[in-house]
Amino acid sequence: MEKLINWFKRRGPFIATIVLLIAVPIYPKFPLKSIGGTYVSIRLVDILVGGGFIVCLISQFLKGLPILKSRIFKLFMIYWLAGLTANLAAVGITDLVSVKLAFFHWLRRIEYMGLFFLTYQSVNKENKDENIADIRLFVGASLLFVFVYGIGQKFWQFPVISTMNEEFSKGILLYLDKWTRINSTFAGHYDLAAWLVMILALLPAGIAKVKKWWKKVFGFLLGLFGLYLLILTASRVSFIAYVIAITASLFFMRKYKWIVPVLMVSFLFGLTSKELNARLRSTLPAMPAVDERIAYVSDLWETESKKVSNKIMNIKIRRRKQKFTPTPEPIAQQPIEESTEEVKTEPEEETKEKIVKEVRTWPTREEAAAAAARSSNIRFEVEWPRAVRAFIKNPLTGTGLSSLGLATDNDYLRLMGESGVIGFGGFMLIILHLLVHFWKHMRSRKENWVYSAGMIGLTAGILANAVFIDIFEASKVAFYFWMLMGIGYKLTKLEISNSKSES
């Protein structure tokens, strides 16, 4: 029995972590049970997360609940209590939110962030290198699966489960045409793009740590696959966040010579997407020379694409046509012939030329720019002002979780509007604390310091994404972010404590 307990304490959280690292990105969001008052549903991943929490709690009890004494747990508790306070104030004082929805949103945040403490226990002091190697392997396998499924959606009609609106969220299988922005196994292209930003930011560290050349080549190919999939999402926000994240990762890893080549490859990939180009040009200030050059390259790609997929075909259709002479009609007051003979002519061969054109299914640059402008206007004129008004109404605790509706498209304004200065401050303290630990570990130049450099790049990318997307409320992205944070933080703690004990 004692051996079983020791095995569970050592391996239980790790196995649960591996299961979730695979299941979260690759399993589509099939609904199991809908939640009344919202189109959010309980899904299989939620059940797996619940199982992970049970493993985490049992493991902590067997160890004597050491997590309660850690500083990071206290910071999480501050934020969760801030959210609870905001809800109580909104329900009991201002009466601005539904009790059910407010506390549902609060529990969802605990669910997302609580995975930090499961994965924190997955890395053991005795075999941390083996743990990290296994985690690296399964994260890479997940990226490969997501890539293959995304390509399958583009070319082979693989179905997608989306939650972009209430009807889709019921679990309807959708089929995308060739030019639609790819979702892969995620519920929307923005979620997929944000997840890819995290993985691509960490990939250079993973490549740096492996020693066999074929593993480095495979890691490089995975990076190209992930980058191509990111381009297919045509998400300008995530593309910019990716550029920030990968640059930060390579800079802090001291891979200065790689920054320019990686960025050049990234922008060359970006030029293959007409919609992404249009969205980026609608975002940047007017630069006629640059815009003209980008437009030229984009037109070149478009011309080549049309030669293959939108060409005009002249089809000659040959068919045989039988001509008959009509049966003579009887003349009045004349006897009708007993029979008439049907006279046939020789079959004639008719040649007809038919021109067939494929219908254009991708947007023009003007259409993509108009869609990007609409997206920006929704943020600037509706969602962001609404969050600012909520913050002004109650700066201390906000107007309660869920009070800003389904989206704000800016996680910082959402934090301030829904939970006020207390909630915003509590959340940012967690992020700051994590970054400080990664920075210390990176500066120590211990064995796995490159992972901390990657974690800083990952965090920079996610924080950039949060300016225009509610990234910490997107379940798949939030789950993965906090899981990776827990793994990185434990590695940081182990090696910093080792360096202190050695000194």
Residue 175 CB neighbours (<10 A): 10
Q: How far apart are CA 164 and CA 134, in angstroms?
A: 34
* Residue 172 counted as domain residue: yes
Spans in the chain with pLDDT lower than 50: 287, 289-290, 297, 301, 304-362, 503
Contact 408, 414 (CB under 8 A): yes
Phi, psi of 65 (to 5 degrees): 55, 55
One domain for residues 148 and 247: yes
Phi, psi of 314 (to 5 degrees): -95, 115
One domain for residues 172 and 239: yes
DSSP 356: E
pLDDT at 245: 96
The whole-angstrom distance between residue 112's C-alpha and the CA centroid of its chain comes to: 15
The whole-angstrom distance between residue 369's C-alpha and the CA centroid of its chain comes to: 22
* Residue 476 counted as domain residue: yes
* Residue 336 counted as domain residue: no
pLDDT at 331: 45
Per DSSP, the three-state class of 313 is strand
- Cross-strand bridge partners of residue 34: 41
Among 191, 49, 163, smallest CA distance to 109 is for 49
One domain for residues 196 and 281: no
**Paired tokens of 146:** 């997501």
One domain for residues 266 and 295: no
One domain for residues 217 and 129: yes
One domain for residues 278 and 252: no
* Residue 310 counted as domain residue: yes
Contact 312, 357 (CB under 8 A): yes
Q: Which domain holds residue 259?
A: 2-272+397-502
Residue 16 CB neighbours (<10 A): 24
One domain for residues 244 and 228: yes
* Residue 116 counted as domain residue: yes
* Residue 389 counted as domain residue: no
Q: How many domains does the chain divide into?
A: 2
Phi, psi of 449 (to 5 degrees): -65, -25
One domain for residues 259 and 291: no
Contact 5, 62 (CB under 8 A): yes
Residues 6 or more apart from 404 whose CB is under 8 A from it?
383, 386, 387, 390, 414, 417, 418
Maximum distance among all alpha carbons in the chain?
A: 129
One domain for residues 455 and 359: no
Phi, psi of 194 (to 5 degrees): -65, -40
Contact 277, 271 (CB under 8 A): yes
Per DSSP, the three-state class of 32 is strand
One domain for residues 280 and 248: no
pLDDT at 342: 47
One domain for residues 249 and 127: yes
- Cross-strand bridge partners of residue 313: 356
One domain for residues 255 and 293: no
* Residue 386 counted as domain residue: no
pLDDT at 250: 96
The model's pTM is 0.82
**Paired tokens of 253:** 């890893």
Alpha-carbon distances of 364 from 187, 233, 238, 279, 293, rounded to whole Å? 25, 16, 21, 11, 17
* Residue 241 counted as domain residue: yes
Contact 475, 112 (CB under 8 A): yes
